Amino acid sequence: MKRLGTTLALVAACSAAPESNPQGLRAPAPTKPSPDQQVAADRLLAGPDWYRHAVFYEVNVRSFQDSNGDGIGDLAGLISRLDYLKDLGVDGVWLMPIFPTAFKDSGYDIADYRAIDPAYGDLATFDRLLAEAHARKMRVYVDLVLNHTSDQHAWFQESRTNKTNPKADWYVWSDTPGRADIGNCGPDNPRFGDGWSRDETRGQWYYHRFYKEQPDLDYRNPDVVRETLDAARFWLDRGTDGFRCDVIGKLYESPTGCDMIPETIAYIKQLRAVLDEKRDAAGVGPTMVSEPSELNDSTKYYGDGSDMFHMSFDFGFGYFWQLAFGARDKKIVDDAVKMTIGYPKGAQPAQVIGSHDVPRAWQYTANEPWRHRNAALLQMTLKGTPFIYYGEEIGMRPGTQFVVDDRDASRTPMVWTKEGPGHGFTTGAPWIAFGAEPETTSVAGEDADPASTLTYYRQLLAFRRGHTVWGTGDIRLVALDVGTIVAFVREDPTEAYLVAVNLTDEDQEGVAADPLPGAGALAFGDGSLEAGGGSVRVKIPATGAAVFKVR
């Protein structure tokens, strides 16, 4: 209790409201948190709810930094860039798959759950990454793909030899292209075929929810359950801080359900128990985040708030913000906010504006950086834990060359410098071409520019650091009489903020008959707020966004 009181006192100290600014001048925006903020953040990030107060960064290791000139990013390269991530304000790094792979699906076809692909390094390099990240007080998540393996995995190679070998029933086999206990649970995308492929060696068909090179494991076999849980323990024993669990809702199928059926939920609870084995006496331990099977079904993954996932990706926001800026209509974002309000107690959304599976945010911002920045402000202030996709912080452009499929457009190499041909990523030939205009969008080019997207991200992350309200505070919408300003209040016992985001390139003003917790003072961004007489008047300039401290 004493420790909590100290934390709250520190938060209050670092949250003192700036003087009221009715003219709406831009608020000061340092790129580093204050010493008091950092002390408060360190305490929050050392507690059992650390993940609620963290900012994560998704890294495609293959495209982040090449250390040996072979054109492929690797773990050693990532280690060399940890200080960049620390300076950005990142607390955790999620690694896209780094396991041995035939690379039929960008590494999501795993050939060995207990090794590192030689292109990225080895287990010793991974251990060094953990040590270097932990020395910087950063956590590391591994992308765990449990639904299927590569067809090159030793398990499948043994399973396909005949119908009587020890792993004969580790995958879903059938004498015909279909099985009664699977029902009509076929692939969700035409690129994956009809879900059944024939193996001539075994003389049977095997089931795959994704590419034919990714046969589904049969979780009705207890050996598969035991072995995959042990694979998770393998990485936790090395010091890994948690997992992002890919397509985990599809582990089991039945004639009456294809996603998150009771058997899948039971397995997820077993996996959560494995993570909980690593909690220390203070309750601090590894955590995991889910990928929902469908848009807006995150609530299925939380259980009672303590027995399934700690976080689940809120793809609703990632999708709705794109529509909102295009339509200039706040109702679209309001609908996404309402979904988070209805989450189970203890649920923590993972907020994204882009990922490795969708086009880069730049494609939805009409090459107008203000749209990207306003979306980032929403991401950092909505209920949930933000996950930045590598390159978003510089407004990186998508590519046009594909190696696996069209999703490669968002998986191109990180642009570190303006100068080609390797742009600081490699001294060799990159494994895939850079995205558009690398000479105009780079870390080096934006690093010292006070008006750059990179500087804005640093300011945003510095602003939110150490404030409990962003990680665990309540959220409620503020109904303005104008449809072009998104407005909501975040509040907890220590403080309260009004967030207002202009969806247009014109000055906007809105009034709400909605009392605020207190008088408003501009804390971040640009705009003005007048509260009194039972109403609130918000003014946000063209392309602007603001956060007002109201208690």
Domain locations along the chain: 37-142+224-469
pLDDT higher than threshold 60 for residue 19: no
At 13, is the pLDDT very low, low, confident or very high (cuts 50, 70, 90)? very low
At 183, is the pLDDT very low, low, confident or very high (cuts 50, 70, 90)? confident
Q: Cα separations (Å) of 445 from 230, 360, 396, 452? A: 45, 20, 12, 9
pLDDT of 319 reads: 66
∠ Cα 314 227 211 (to 5°): 55
> 173 in helix, strand or coil?
strand
Query: 160-167 — which CB contacts under 8 Å span 24+ positions?
Result: 160/199, 160/201, 160/202, 160/206, 161/201, 161/202, 162/202, 163/202, 163/204, 167/223
* Active-site annotation holds for 509: no
pLDDT tens, position by position, 215-242: 999 999 999 999 999 999 999 999 999 9
pLDDT tens, position by position, 486-506: 999 999 999 999 999 998 999
pLDDT higher than threshold 60 for residue 130: yes
pLDDT of 295 reads: 57
pLDDT of 3 reads: 30
pLDDT tens, position by position, 93-118: 999 999 999 999 999 999 999 999 99
What's the mean per-residue pLDDT of the chain?
90
CA distance 283 to 286: 10
* Active-site annotation holds for 304: no
Whether residue 307 contacts residue 266, with contact meaning beta carbons closer than 8 Å, is answered with no
What secondary structure does DSSP assign to 411-471, as a single string? -PPP---SSTTTTTT-SS--SS---S-TTTS-HHHHHT-TTSHHHHHHHHHHHHTT-HHHH
Q: What are phi and psi of 150, to 5 degrees?
A: -75, 150
pLDDT of 336 reads: 75
pLDDT higher than threshold 90 for residue 290: yes
pLDDT tens, position by position, 321-342: 667 666 667 777 787 777 777 7
At 294, is the pLDDT very low, low, confident or very high (cuts 50, 70, 90)? low
pLDDT of 115 reads: 99
Q: Which CATH class is domain 37-142+224-469?
A: alpha beta
pLDDT tens, position by position, 502-519: 989 999 999 987 778 777
pLDDT of 514 reads: 75
What is the average pLDDT across 169-184? 94
pLDDT higher than threshold 60 for residue 10: no
At 62, is the pLDDT very low, low, confident or very high (cuts 50, 70, 90)? very high
Torsion over CA: 155, 235, 391, 502 (sign)? positive
pLDDT of 518 reads: 72
At 435, is the pLDDT very low, low, confident or very high (cuts 50, 70, 90)? very high
pLDDT higher than threshold 60 for residue 7: no
pLDDT of 326 reads: 65
What is the average pLDDT across 450-472? 97
pLDDT of 8 reads: 26
Report the 10 Å Cβ neighbour count for 211.
22
Which residue among 213, 246, 314, 495 is the active-site one? Answer: 246
Give the contacts of 542 (CB within 8 A, at least 6 positions apart): 502, 504, 505, 506, 507, 508
Instruction: Tokens 């408003």: give the residue.
Output: 520
At 467, is the pLDDT very low, low, confident or very high (cuts 50, 70, 90)? very high
pLDDT of 296 reads: 59
Residue 352: closest CA among 411, 400, 289: 289
pLDDT tens, position by position, 387-412: 999 999 999 998 988 888 888 889 99
At 359, is the pLDDT very low, low, confident or very high (cuts 50, 70, 90)? confident
pLDDT of 515 reads: 75
Which residue among 216, 259, 291, 491 is the active-site one? Answer: 291
pLDDT higher than threshold 90 for residue 73: yes
